[in-house]
Each structure stands twice: as structure tokens, then as C-alpha cells.
């Protein structure tokens, strides 16, 4: 039987506006997604390896108050394939709401 190692990575998070543009994020989000240099204003929607239709469903549901979770597989050059579970929920902040 092959041996498999389960690797836990630090929690990665990002707060975005309603269109999925990053407002703030943890340092680990770029590493987790296999992209470097994510900055405020970058589109998180463009770097998540999901069909846009699925992601838009998750965003619409979260904006209506129904948090959604999904498991996705991330493949990036030079990195092992990773299964990641993510949560999209509405975030209420001082300056308004976001995801």
C-alpha cells in the first residue's frame, strides 16, 4: 500500500469586494494558489481554478446570506496537487460589505 502524507498548510484567507477584487489577504494565499504577488485590487476570481459559473453561484449565494463551501483541486507547476476546501461568505465591515 503506498504511503501518503497529509500536509497541513497555514490557513489562507482573503477579503474581497462584491466582484472578487482583493481588499486584504493573508500572506499564504498566493502560495496556496500557486501564484505570486497578489495585491489589493487583483481579482481573486481570475486565479481560483474553478469554472466561473460555479464561482459566480457561490458569490451570489453568499451575498444573499447563504455561505457556501466547495472543495477544489489546485495544480500548479512545480507544486504537488492540493485539495483545498474554501468558504465564501458575506463579510460586514466598517466600510460596507464584501466577501
Ranges 14-23, 38-47, 69-78: which has the least confidence: 69-78
**Exposure string (b/e) for 51-65, b if CB count within 10 Å is 16 or more?**
eeeebeebbeebeee
Q: What is the pLDDT of residue 86?
A: 81
pLDDT at residue 5 is higher than 60? no
Q: What are the pLDDT digits (tens) for 23-69?
A: 888 888 888 877 877 889 999 888 887 888 888 898 889 888 898 88
Of 2, 1, 3, 6, nearest to 80 by C-alpha is 6
Write the DSSP assignment of 38-73 as a string of letters. --TT-BHHHHSSS-HHHHHHHHHHHHTT--EEEEEE
Contact 17/99 with Cβ under 8 angstroms? yes
Of 91 and 60, more confident: 60
Amino acid at each position: 500500500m503506498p504511503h501518503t502524507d497529509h500536509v497541513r498548510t497555514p490557513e489562507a484567507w482573503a477579503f474581497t469586494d462584491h466582484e472578487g477584487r482583493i481588499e486584504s489577504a493573508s500572506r499564504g494565499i498566493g502560495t496556496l494558489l500557486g501564484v505570486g504577488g497578489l495585491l489589493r485590487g487583483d481579482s481573486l476570481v481570475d486565479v481560483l481554478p474553478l469554472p466561473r459559473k460555479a464561482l459566480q453561484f457561490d458569490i451570489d449565494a453568499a451575498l444573499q446570506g447563504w455561505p457556501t463551501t466547495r472543495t477544489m483541486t489546485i495544480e500548479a507547476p512545480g507544486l504537488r496537487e492540493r485539495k483545498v476546501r474554501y468558504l465564501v461568505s458575506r463579510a460586514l465591515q466598517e466600510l460596507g460589505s464584501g466577501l
